[in-house]
Amino acid sequence: MGDQSNQVAVASQPTTAEERPHQPLTVTDLNMTPLPAVPTTSTNNDKGTGPTISSYSSDSINTNASTVYNYHRMNLPLFPPSSNIIASTATPSISNASNNTIQETTAIFTLCSLDIRIAHHAASLFLSGLSSPPSTKSSGGPPEIPLGAYQYSHLIFSGKVGALTANHHQFSDGRAEATVFADIASSAPYHIPPDKILIEPSATNTGENVRFTYALLNEAGLLDGSGPEKVKITKFVLVQKPYMERRTFATFVKQWPGGQKTQTERGGSEEAEADGNVEFTVTSPPLAWQDYPDADNPRDLVISIMVGDLVRIKEYPAKGYQIEQHIPDQVWEAGQRLIRAGYGRHLP
C-alpha cells in the first residue's frame, strides 16, 4: 500500500432517525452497558493458539463480538444521488457527449469479498437512485428503464479472488470477485445495464481497491470529465461488509490520491473534512450482529476477521495505510478478550 496523502471530505452526520440507513448501537450506547469478561486461562494465544473457542461461553463471545462489530459500522449518511440525470450510453440522444457540459456525479463503489449479499445491496442501492421507477414487461423480461433515469453514474466492483473465496462455490470457476458481483447486478431482478457497471478484477486488498480503481477511472476520464460521457465522479458511496466499514473508510481517506486532509470526531463518529473535490461515505447491509453470520460467513471466521481488522485500525496509521481512528477502551478490551478466547487467527 502507498503513503499518498489526499484531499477528501465526507458528509456530516445524520441528525434524525429518518436520515440514517440503519440504527446499530453507537459508541455512546456501548459505554452504557458493562460487558461480561471472557475467562483468561492462558496467555499463549496471540494467534489463536491458546484456549479453544469452545472453552468459552457463547453469550460472552457474542456480547464482545457485537461490541467490536458495532464499532466497525460507522453509520454515515448516504450522499443523495446526483441531481443531474445520467443517460445510459444506449440513449445517445440525451447523452452529454454532444456538448461540453461536464456533470459532477456520485458513483457506487463496491468492495468485493466472500459475502455476495454485498453485491445485492450495492445493486439495490444503485436502483434506488432511479428518477423514475422501471416498468415491468408483461412478458416477464427485464424491466424497461426510462431514458436517462439513472442518477448514480456508475456501479463499480473491485476485487480479485482472495484466500477466503478461492475454494468457495460461487468463485470455484476462477472468476474474479468483481466479475461474480457484476453478474449478480446485471441479472434478475436488477438488470443493471452493462454500460453502467465498471469492473476492476485485480485488487487483493483494500489499498489495491483504492489504487487500481483510481487508475481505471482516471484512464477512462471519469475523474476529470475528459471521457466521452462528460462525467466527473466527485462522490463515492463505498459499499462493504458491515464489519469492514471503518477500515475501508480509513483506507480510502488516506490513500486516494489528492491533497491535504484533516480529521475530526463528532458524536462518536469520525469524519474527514477538507476542501477537496472528492468525497466518500460508506454503507453496508443493515444487519445486526446476530443476523450477520450465515453458512457462507460463519460466526467464528467473521469474529476472527473483524478482531484482526480492529488491530489493523490501531496499527496501520503508523505504517501510512490508514488515517487514525479513535478506538474506545471498551471496544479494544472486547477485542482483546476475543483474542484470548482463540479468535486471533487473522491478526496482522
Q: Which residues contact residue 57 at a Cβ distance below 8 angstroms, ignoring those fewer than 6 apart? A: 36, 38
Give me the DSSP letters along 202-228: ---SHHHHHHHHHHHHHHTTTTTS-ST
Contact 117, 124 (CB under 8 A): no
Tell me if 175 sits within 8 A of 196, measured CB to CB: no
Of 309 and 42, more confident: 309
SS3 call for 3:
coil
Joined grid coordinates for residue 294:
450465515
Of the candidate CATH numbers 3.40.50.720, 3.30.450.60, 2.40.30.10, 3.40.50.620, the domain formed by 8-340 belongs to: 3.40.50.620
Band of pLDDT at residue 1, cut at 50, 70 and 90 = very low
Tens digits of residue pLDDT in 299-343: 999 999 999 999 999 999 999 999 999 999 999 999 999 999 999
- Residue 219: which residues within 8 A CB-CB, separation 6 or more? none
Using an 8 Å Cβ cutoff, are 309 and 11 in contact?
Answer: no
CA gap 189, 127 in Å, rounded:
11
pLDDT score of 24 more than 60: no
Eight-state DSSP code of residue 43: S
Share of the chain above pLDDT 90, in %: 59
Look up cell 487473522; give the residue: 346
Q: What is the sign of the dihedral through the CA atoms of 122, 184, 246 and 324?
A: negative
Residue-range domain boundaries for the chain: 8-340
Q: What is the pLDDT of residues 85-100, one digit of tens each?
A: 444 443 333 344 446 7
The angle subtended at Cα 265 by Cα 259 and Cα 269, nearest 5°, is 105
For residue 210, pLDDT beyond 90: yes
What 8-state DSSP symbol labels residue 290?
G
